[in-house]
Structure 1
Amino acid sequence: MRRQFWLSAVLLLTAPWVQAETMLIKANGYSWEHERLRQFDTLVISDQGKVLATGAQAELAPRWPAAKVLDMGGKTVLPGLTDAHGHLLSLGYSMLSLNLRETRNLQEAREAIRTYLRQYPGNGWVLGGGWNQVVWQLGRFPEAADIDDLAPQRPVWLDRVDGHAGWANQAALRIAGIDKNTPDPSGGRIERDAAGNPTGVLIDSAMTLVSRHIPAADAAQNKEALKLALNTLVANGITSVHDAGINVAADQAIRSLQAEQALPLRVYGMIRGTGEEFTQLSKDGPRYDAAQDRYVLRAVKLFSDGALGSRGAALLAPYSDAPHTKGLLFHTPAELQGMIRTAASRGYQVNVHAIGDAANREVLDAFAALPPQWRAARRHRIEHAQVVALEDIPRFVKLGLIPSMQPVHATSDMNMAEQRVGPQRIRGAYAWQRFTKLGARIACGSDFPIESPNPFEGMLAAVSRTDLQGQPQGGWYPDQAMSREQALRCFTLDAAFAAFQETRLGSLEKGKWADFVVIDRDILKVPVSEIATTQVLSTWVAGKQVYSRP
């Protein structure tokens, strides 16, 4: 089924370009015009894939009498949606790996692993993830002992749902040489029992002790995983994605598809770190695609801490539910400032992962220390900006920083967030209205594959502060919910702004690319509970249909 979907998407992608103007009529269209939302019923597209006009059919039809006409039948048309924070190769590989996201307890996870081992026998690594000990109500991290009987000789390595912890069996620990005497690496932690023996869970940078032993995928595998991810995104109405961590392998796969004119959407890339791969990928400076805007590589992704669920997020004060720890800062202030300066001095936008309030403060301080000429025009970003001290929120605006946030994290984390940080610090967590009221432009994404790439699930979380089942009633800290217009804007125009693309993407204004999505309902008017079940009917990039719902 998955292969059949991929082939149909490729056929759409390679269809010939229209040779004349195209006019969409009878649309229930929405777009930003001079940053104000307005409606239209007709959209005119040039044969180069740019917007010529939006407005009323009676006004526009006489101006383009020879245009090819497509009747939208009253369907809703939105500007193409941008996911401002995702991981393309990880999404593709997650769809080919063991997935524990839907498991409700450890026993279900064991059964999923057992089934996978039957389906895929052999001696190779068992890879996957999505586990969440909070959802399992396990009261602890899982351990190698919980799965050793299932795969006594075959190495198992499973990422936590947030990607900031990994679960290994004893076979994987043996391959990695991890034992009682293995020290915790900087920025990471090996979970241990009372005797100091590794239990099987590794936090943040300690994960590399195992992951570096996993055989690397080859170029063909990367390319297939990338295709699967891209076609999944266009099926969800995504026309542009900001990939938060491009390495050399991902860059090669993306450029290979770009050379084949087979990128179905736009990719804005962030180079992962300022190490050897940055040296290789930045040798010619930031890379633009001025002609087609298909693949831009002009940003760098750094990390300052881990995640809240695994208590790796760095807090100013101890965790409310674990007073013995404040989480983990990955770098000293001097180290982080040095990496930011390295990237900014080369002309790159710098986007730093920060979850905890201590990490956010460290990143804010690091950006404040930048020379003004390396800060003002770069539109640097803090990715997640998840738990921020109230007094630090105004600094985002003062420093010209963009909070790149994922609304669905709030509803995914609400089962443990307040336990982690307590009732006072939670006021600065997932605080979208506190940011917007100060003038910050929030770029919204999903952080797929940690979360679903479906942007309508993100919009539901943004406007309701509830999960897909509508819980809790009335929303979780509903005073921080976005309006529907704000939610649409953060997935369109403001996400484009966060990538310096607001003059070319994010709205259906004259001269911009005709990137849009056709959906089965008016998300600005239907009951809030129906937003997440929105169906994408078709997705268009540069005036070309790249996905059509079967």
Structure 2
Amino acid sequence: MVTFNTIVFDEGKVVQLNPTEMPADATVIDGNNKVLLPGLIDAHGHLLGLGGNLMEVDLRESSSMQQAAQWVADYAMMHADQEWIKGRGWNQELWSDRSFPTAAVLDAKLKNKPVWLTRVDGHAAWVNSKALQMAGINDSTPDPAGGQILRDADGKATGVLIDHAMDLVSAIMPKDSASLYAAQLNAAGEHLHSVGITAMHDAGIGHHVYDFYLARAAQGELPVRVYAMLSATDPLLPEMLDVGIIRSQDDFLHVRSVKAYGDGALGSRGAALIKPYSDAPHQHGLLLTQPEDFPKVVQQVLGAGFQLNFHAIGDKANQLVLDEFERTFELLGGQALRNRIEHAQIIAVEDLPRFAELKVLPSMQPTHATSDMNMAEDRLGKARMEGAYAWKTLLNSGIPMPLGSDFPVELANPFYGLHAAVTRQDRNNQPVAGWYPEQAMSIQQAWRLLYVNNFQCIGCTHFFHFITVS
């Protein structure tokens, strides 16, 4: 560990530690014995998604679907000018009955204006009957590939849409504007600064946000440094790849990676599993990219010289992605691009060593484990937990592990992640002994990996904004 009494930095870049003499034109700041922390880096978040979440109804703390519906109604009353009522954060696993919500409960509170509420993980939406009607969804609407319309025992659509089924409604919602992006960016930037984050990896942006970021970077108006991942599902991905790698003059914007989508999330049973869910034996989860499309995605991105960061939560999705990386490396190369699997939550035990063998980085979020611990073993059964949230096993295999929060899925405060990584406990220090504590990191490992040394972006120079803590 390096210690120092004096640090010299210029335009956010560390120049020297403990200099023998100060530069003649230096401005000297007396830290008054306060703690000095570098600006922190989140390796996986959603910048405008965070801003949007801060501007919509927040359902994260709701204790029942009825309470959530009442909060939506209260919000709608205070925002009568909004064409759609939008929100995020519901999690049926935290409600007493642990049941998925229904359109009927929303209809009782708000039936004449469409409602769109995404689950905390972003992989499911709860809508009212007005939204279903506007999207043309009825009881006979087929499930799209990679998606599911939840239905009751009589086959009626309940109002919950999983993964690609969400697209049926999102396609008819008003499109986001540059002015909305600006408001979201400002809200997110202010919040991230308040918790000490000055740089982040934006996990999946489409061409509209790409253009918006380019304009803001050219004007020097990005509030945090952004390492952006292009969305593999964007129809203009080939054109964006043809533009090539982008690095703004002030280093606030860096575009040289792509985010692809393997499966859904565990909480909504969208994570793709090799064997059925233990608590739903007829379900295996959902693949958002079909196996026959994997080669095209991987070869297109690596062939363009871009890093590929593939979302995979379930053991089947992780295995398929590792298999495709292995095949493509043999065919085209690209291993040196420091490719990643985003989340890497549930991995078949035999696949754990393959990350180090293939030099594919598991990009993980510590608070996901402590948020999922109330349902993960129900979903997976005891045996599969050996390869779930297996941080220590992966680190011991010798592979670097970039860590982040996945905000706004989880709260952006980096110290929540640090605490979860070291203790395997939630913010209430539960369970007392930690959840599968043998997979905990040391505080030195967590501090290096969580925000400070997120070195997995290719060619990144490290920058620091400094934060004093009283």
- Check whether TM > 0.5: yes
For residue 105 of structure 1, report the CA deviation from its aligned partner. 1.6
Per-residue CA deviation, residues 127-183 of structure 1 (Å, 9 max, x unaligned), is 111101010132321010111111111111100011000001100000000011111
| 2:456 corresponds to 1:498 | yes
Whether contact under 8 Å (2:404, 2:451) holds in the other structure is: no
Unaligned runs of 5+ in 2: none
Cα gap change, 1:143/1:514 in structure 2, threshold over 3 Å: closer, same or farther? Answer: closer
Match of 2:434 in 1: 475
- The answer to whether the Cα contact below 8 Å between 1:222 and 1:249 also exists between their aligned partners in 2 is no
Q: CA deviation at 1:237?
A: 1.1
Corresponding position of 1:248: 207
Give the equivalent residue in structure 2 for 1:429.
Answer: 388
The one-letter code sitting in structure 1 at the alignment partner of 2:77 is: R
Look up the match of 1:40: 4
Runs of 4+ in 1 over 6 A off after TM superposition: none
Q: State the secondary structure of the residue aligned to 1:250.
A: helix
Distance 2:132 2:223 in 1: 40
Instruction: Confirm whether residue 391 of structure 1 aligns to residue 350 of structure 2.
Output: yes
- Equivalent residue in structure 2 for 1:72, among 11, 31, 39: 31
Deviation string, structure 1 residues 73-94 (Cα, Å, up to 9, x no partner): 2222233211110111111111
Cα deviation, 1:345-398, whole Å, max 9, x if unaligned, reads 111100000000011001001101103453221111000000011110110011
Partner residue, 2:13: 50
Indicate if the aligned counterparts of 1:314 and 1:358 stay in contact, CA closer than 8 A.
yes
Q: How does 1:75-474 map to 2 (within 5 A)?
A: 75-122=34-81, 124-289=83-248, 291-372=249-330, 373-474=332-433
Conserved? CA contact 1:97–1:128, under 8 Å? yes
Q: In the aligned structure 2, how far is the partner of 1:265 from the partner of 1:117?
A: 32
Question: How far apart are the structure 2 equivalents of 1:416 and 1:274?
Answer: 30
Q: Secondary structure at the match of 1:370?
A: helix
> What is the distance in 2 between the residues matched to 1:123 and 1:266?
31
What are the superposed Cα offsets for residues 203-234 of structure 1, whole Å, 9 maximum, x if unpaired?
Answer: 00000001111101211111121121122112
Q: What code does the residue aligned with 1:51 have?
A: V
| CA shift for structure 1 position 65 | 5.7
Letter in 2 for 1:73: N
Alpha carbons 1:273, 1:300 under 8 Å: kept: yes
Q: Distance in 2 between matches of 1:382 and 1:43?
A: 36
- For 1:22, the equivalent position in structure 2 comes to none
Distance 2:12 2:112 in 1: 55
Structure 1 residue matching 2:139: 3-state secondary structure? coil
Q: TM-score, normalised by structure 1?
A: 0.83
Code of the aligned partner of 1:196 = G
* 8 Å CA contact 1:462, 1:482 repeated in 2: yes
Instruction: Summarize the Cα distance change of 1:122–1:493 in structure 2 as closer, same or farther, 3 Å threshold.
Output: closer
User: TM-score, normalising length from structure 2?
Assistant: 0.96
Cα pair 1:92 1:227 within 8 Å, conserved: yes
Counterpart contact for 2:329–2:335, Cα < 8 Å: no
Distance 1:317 1:87, change over 3 A: same
Aligned to 2:469: 519
The root-mean-square deviation of aligned C-alpha atoms, in Å, is 1.6
Deviation, 1:494, is: 4.1
Structure 1 gaps, min length 5: 1-36, 506-512, 521-550
SS at match of 1:71: coil
Task: Give the Cα separation in 2 of the matches to 1:482 and 1:149.
Answer: 47
Letter in 2 for 1:338: K
Structure 1 Cα separation of the partners of residues 270 and 208 of structure 2: 27
Equivalent position SS for 2:336:
coil
Contact 2:39 2:196 in 1 (8 A): yes
Q: CA deviation at 1:108?
A: 1.8
Comparing 199-208 and 327-336, the one that deviates more? 327-336
Q: Percent identity?
A: 45
The whole-number CA distance in structure 2 between the counterparts of 1:155 and 1:99 is: 17
Per-residue displacement from partner, 1:284-303 (whole Å, max 9, x unpaired)?
122223x4321011100001
Distance 1:50 1:120, change over 3 A: closer
Deviations 1:460-509 (A, max 9, x none): 111111111111101111111111111111124541x211245x21xxxx
Q: 1:354/1:514 Cα in 2 relative to 1: closer, same or farther (>3 Å)?
A: closer
* Corresponding residue of 1:539: none
- Output the CA distance in 1 between the equivalents of 2:102 and 2:348: 34
Q: Which amino acid aligns with 2:90?
A: W
Partner of 1:523: none
CA distance in 1 between counterparts of 2:28 and 2:22 reads 13
Mapped partners of 1:407, 1:258: distance in 2: 30
* C-alpha separation in 2, matches of 1:500 and 1:39: 27
1:24 aligned residue: none
> 1:62: how far off?
3.1
Contact 1:226 1:253 in 2 (8 A): no
Distance in 1, Cα, partners of 2:94 & 2:409: 14
For residues 126 and 51 of structure 1, the distance between their equivalents in structure 2, rounded to whole angstroms, comes to 45
Asked if the contact 1:239–1:516 (Cα under 8 Å) also holds between the matched residues in 2, the reply is no
Q: Distance in 1 between matches of 2:175 and 2:25?
A: 53
Q: Deviations over 1:302-338 (max 9, x none)?
A: 0110000000000111111111111112233221121
Structure 1 residues 514 and 115: alpha-carbon distance in aligned structure 2, compared to 1, 3 A threshold: closer
Structure 1: which amino acid aligns with 2:264? G
The AA in structure 2 aligned to 1:359 is A
The 8 Å contact of residues 333 and 366 in structure 1, kept in 2 or not, is answered as: no
Instruction: Decide whether the 8 Å contact of 1:274 with 1:300 is kept in 2.
Output: no
Moved more, 70-79 or 334-343: 70-79
Letter in 2 for 1:335: D
SS in structure 2 of the partner of residue 362 of structure 1: helix
Per-residue deviation at 1:274? Answer: 4.9
- Name the CA distance, whole Å, in 2 between partners of 1:40 and 1:83: 25
Task: State the distance in 2 between where 1:52 and 1:339 align.
Answer: 40
Cα offset, 1:123, TM superposition: 6.7
